[in-house]
Chain A
Amino acid sequence: MKGFGKYAIWAYSIMAFVFLLIPIVYTIVFSFNDSRRTNIIWNGFTFENWLTVCEAQGVCQAFGNSLLIGVAATLLATTLGTMIAIALVRYRFRFRSTTTLLIFLPMATPEVVLGAGLAAQFLQAGVPKGIGTVILAHTLFCLSFVVVTVRSRVLGLNPALEEAGRDLYGSPFQVFWRITFPMLLPGIVAAALLSFALSFDDFIITNFNRGADVTFPSYIYTAAARGIPAEANVIASAVFFLAIAIVLVAQLSAAARRRKLAKA
C-alpha cells in the first residue's frame, strides 16, 4: 500500500508538471513557426521570427514600454516598500494595525477593482492616462508584495550584529549601509524581481489606465482578435529563458552555498 501510494504521487505530480508546461512549450514552439499572417497552424520550422523580431508592427515598441514601466515601478515600489518593512519590524508606532491593514488590503482587492478605482480617480482629477499613470498603478500593487517579502527578511535579521556595529562607534548611517542593508539585500532583490515580474505581465490594471499607450500584454490582447504575430511568441520566449536562467543560477548557487556550509 505504501509503495503504491509513493508511485501514485510520483505519477500524479509528473502529470501535473506536464499540464503546467504544455502552454509554455506551445508558446515557445510557435515562436519558430513559419507563419504567414496568423500564427495558429504549424507551417514548418524557421529561425526567421527570432532574427527579425522588431519587424512586426509595434511589438518592440510595446516591449520597450513594458520594460520602462517595469523598471520604474520596481524602483519606486522597492524603495517605499523596504522602508515600510524595516519600520514595521524595528519600530513601535501608533496606528500599527491600521498601517498593516492598509498594506494588506491592496493584495486582497481584485485587480479589476484596483484598475477601475485608479481610472475613476484619474478621470475625476483630469489626469491624462498613459505610461505615467500605468507606472503609478503598478507601483501601488507591487508595494504590498515588496513589504511582505522584505519584512520576512528583516524578521530573520539578528539585531545583535547591528548592536555590535553601534558598540564599535559606527554612526547610524554607517551601521545601516555596512550591516543592515547588505544583510537585507537578498530579500530586497527577491522583492524587486517579484515586482518586475508582476508589473511586466500585468494586463488588467494596465488596461484601465494606459490610455493610448501600449504595453506588451495589451499588445497581445489587442492582437488576439486578429491573430498574434509569431514575433510576440519570440519576445515572450526570450523573456522566459532569461527569467528561468536567473532563477536557476540563484537556486543552484544557494544549493552550493548550503552544501559548503554543511561541510564546514
Chain B
Amino acid sequence: MAFTAFSGPATAAAEPAARRRSPIALFLLLPGIFYLVLFFVTPLISLVITSLQAPDPLIFGQYVNAFNWQNYVTVLETYWPQAIRSGGYAALATLFALLIGFPLAYFIGITLRPYPLIQSLALVLVIAPFFISFLLRTLAWKQIFSTEGPVVGLLSAIGAMPAGSSITGTDFAVVFGLTYNFIPFMVLPIYATLVSLDLRLLEASNDLYGSPATTFRTVTLPLSAAGVMSGTLLTFIPAAGDYINASREFLGSTETTMIGNVIEANFLVLQNFPAAAALSLILMAFILVLVAAYVKRSGTEDLL
C-alpha cells in the first residue's frame, strides 16, 4: 500500500533477485520518467528561476530574470513568524495524531485480530473521512466550534467560557483541525506494521514476567517503529504545508497564518511570484532535510 511508502525495510526484503536487462524496461520507464521530469523537475527549476527574479524597472508588477538572492533574505525576515508557527502547528498536530492514532492502530491491528470482519469494518471507518470532502469536513468543525455552536454553548453554560466567545480562529482550532484531517495518515502505516506483528512475541514477553508496560516498550514499540516513522512523516509533511485549516474562512484567523497561506497569498493574490517561489523552496528544503534525517536513521536505502 501507498501508506507504507516511507517504511522501506519491510518491502526491501521481498525484492526478487533475478532481474533481467531488456530494452522493454526502457519502453516501460521512459513515458513515466519523461512525465516526472517535465512536470516535477522542471517546475522546481522554474521555482528556482522565479525565486531569483527582480521587479521589472519599467513595468510595475512584472518581474524579470535576475540573480536576486536577496529575495530569500527578505521573505525570511518578513515571514519568519509564520514559518515557525507552521513548524510548531505541524509538530503539535503530528504529536496529537500519534497519541490518538497509535492506540487506534493497535486496537484495529491487534485487539480486533480475532474478529476479521469487525477488523475490516474498523479499517473502513478510519479511511471514511477520505471519502467526504476535506473542505466540508473542516467547515463542519468550524460550525461546531462557532459562537452559536454546541461546544461554545456547553462550555459557557458550565461557566468554562464567557458567553459569545469563539473557539475558531485560535491556535487550538487550527491544531485541532490539522490533527483531525491527518489522523488516517498516522493510523494506516502503524496499522500496517502492527497487523503483521507476531502475537507469540507478546506472549513470550509476558511469560518472561514482562509487565504490560515493559512488553510495550521493548517489543511492541520497536517492532512498529517503521510504521510510526512513516506515519509521522505522512502527517507532518501535509500539515506543515497546509493552508486550509489556518485560513480565515475555515478554522483560522489573521493570527494563525501559516507558511502555506503566505505562499498562496503571495502567488495568487499579491502576484509576488518571487516571494512565493522563495518561500516554497525554503519549505521544501526544510521538509527534505527532515525526510533525509528520518530515512538515514531508519537505515533504509530503498525509498519506495
Where the two chains meet, the residues of A that have a C-beta atom closer than 8 Å to any C-beta of B are 1-2, 5-6, 9-10, 12-13, 16-17, 19-24, 26-27, 30, 40-41, 80-81, 83-84, 86-93, 97, 99-114, 116-121, 123-124, 136-137, 139-140, 143, 145, 147-149, 151-152, 155-156, 159, 194, 197, 201, 203-204, 207-208, 216-217, 220-221, 224-225, 228, 232-233, 236-237, 239-240, 243-244, 247-248, 251-252, 254-255, 258
* B207 on the A face (CB < 8 A): no
Assembly CA distance A233 to B139 (angstroms) = 11
> Chain B residues near A221 (CB, 8 Å)?
135, 244, 249
In the bound complex, residues from chain A placing their C-beta under 8 Å from that of B130 are: 197, 201
Quick check: B284 and A120 within 8 Å, CB to CB? no
Tell me, in angstroms, the Cα distance from A119 to B263 when the chains sit together: 12
Chain A residues with CB under 8 Å of B15's CB are 89, 155
CB distance from B48 to the nearest CB of A (A): 9
Q: Are A207 and B264 in contact (CB under 8 A)?
A: yes
| Chain A, interface SS category | helix
Contact of A116 among B4, B122, B143, B263 (CB under 8 A): B263
9 sampled A-B residue pairs with Cβ under 8 A: A2-B212, A22-B144, A23-B180, A93-B29, A102-B40, A108-B233, A143-B36, A204-B260, A248-B121
Do B284 and A113 have beta carbons less than 8 Å apart? yes
**A106 and chain B: residue at smallest CB distance:** B40
How many angstroms between the C-alpha atoms of A145 and B5 in the bound complex? 9
- A223 CB, nearest partner CB in chain B, Å: 9
Query: 10 nearest interchain CB pairs?
Result: A110-B241, A117-B43, A91-B25, A23-B140, A243-B131, A87-B28, A13-B107, A80-B32, A26-B140, A121-B46
B128's partner among A21, A159, A216 (CB-CB below 8 A) is: A21
Known: A117-B47, A143-B36, A203-B134. A92 touches B19 (CB 8 A): yes
Q: Provide the B255-276 mask, 1 if CB < 8 A to any CB of A, else 0.
A: 0000110011001100001001
A214 CB → nearest B CB, Å: 13
Question: What residues of A have a CB within 8 angstroms of the CB of B104 in the complex?
Answer: 12-13, 16-17
CA of A243 to CA of B131 in the docked complex: distance in angstroms? 6
Q: Do the beta carbons of A237 and B237 come within 8 Å of each other?
A: no
Which residue from A105, A111, A240 sits with its C-beta under 8 Å from B238?
A: A111
B283 at the interface (CB under 8 A from A): yes
Number of B interface residues at 8 Å Cβ cutoff, please give it: 103
Instruction: Indicate if B59 sits at the interface (CB-CB under 8 A).
Output: no
Q: Given contacts A110-B287, A120-B43, A140-B35, is CB(A20)–CB(B304) below 8 Å? A: no
Closest Cβ of chain A: how far from B116's Cβ, in Å?
A: 6
B26 lies within 8 A of chain A by Cβ:
yes
Whether A27 touches B29, Cβ cut-off 8 Å, given contacts A80-B35, A244-B128, is no
Which B residues, 107 to 130, have Cβ-Cβ distances below 8 Å to chain A? 107-108, 111, 116-117, 120-130
Q: Does residue B42 face the partner (Cβ distance < 8 Å to A)? A: yes
Smallest Cβ-Cβ distance to A105: which chain B residue: B40
B39 in contact with A91 (CB, 8 Å): no
Contact of B103 among A16, A19, A112, A239 (CB under 8 A): A16
Contacts of B50 in A (CB 8 A): 120, 123-124
